[in-house]
Amino acid sequence: MQARAMDNLRFIRGMMESAATFTAVSGWGEVVIGISAVAAALVASHQTLPWAWVATWLAEAGIAAGISVASMTLKAHAANMPLLSGPMRKLVLSFSPPIVVGAVLTAVFVQGGMFGFLPGIWMLLYGAAVVSAGTYSVRIVPVMGAAFMFAGALALIAPATWATPLLIAGFGGLHIVFGLWIARRHGG
């Protein structure tokens, strides 16, 4: 009986340790998202109409969401971890409100012709979403969110000519840097 109890404790301890270090966030997925964001920034910078610029970034948001879901699914499958678990539902529920607010503000700002505020608003709210969702992940994820919030605040006070470089540094660079960190420290 004692040996079985010790085996159960070892199993539970092992599961808790693996759960503490596993993050469904795929580092390599984040790197790919960063690369696609750099490409989107370059495409968007060549748009002459503001609505085409916004459409480019909205398409990138959809592409990034697809990459994120696919890469998290692959990572969870490779680690033999359930993707649709309680923590994943909490992650989605905490990530979604700032993203919904970003969508609403994007529509309002586009309608009002306030395109210059969008890079800052997008990075601030995306950062808030990552910080919130990161409470259910490894420690570096909320740090990544805070870095996005800093970049967003900078974009709101910087000259409009800095929009493309800040979007490249934010959505491109931060995803790549933190993605490499996550891939190295927490697998894929």
pLDDT in tens, the chain (188 residues): 777 767 766 666 555 544 444 577 889 999 999 999 999 999 999 999 999 999 999 999 999 999 998 998 888 888 787 777 766 777 788 899 999 999 999 999 999 999 999 999 999 999 999 999 888 788 899 999 999 999 999 999 999 999 999 999 999 999 999 999 999 988 77
- The domain tally of the chain equals 1
Query: Burial code of 138-177, b = ≥16 C-beta within 10 A, e = fewer?
Result: bebbbebbebbbebbebbeebeeeebbebbbbbbbbbbbb
pTM of the full structure: 0.84
Domain that holds residue 70: 2-186
CB 93 within 8 A of CB 84: no
CA distance 179 to 93: 22
Residues 6+ apart with CB under 8 A from 27: 178, 179, 180, 181, 182, 183, 184, 186, 187, 188
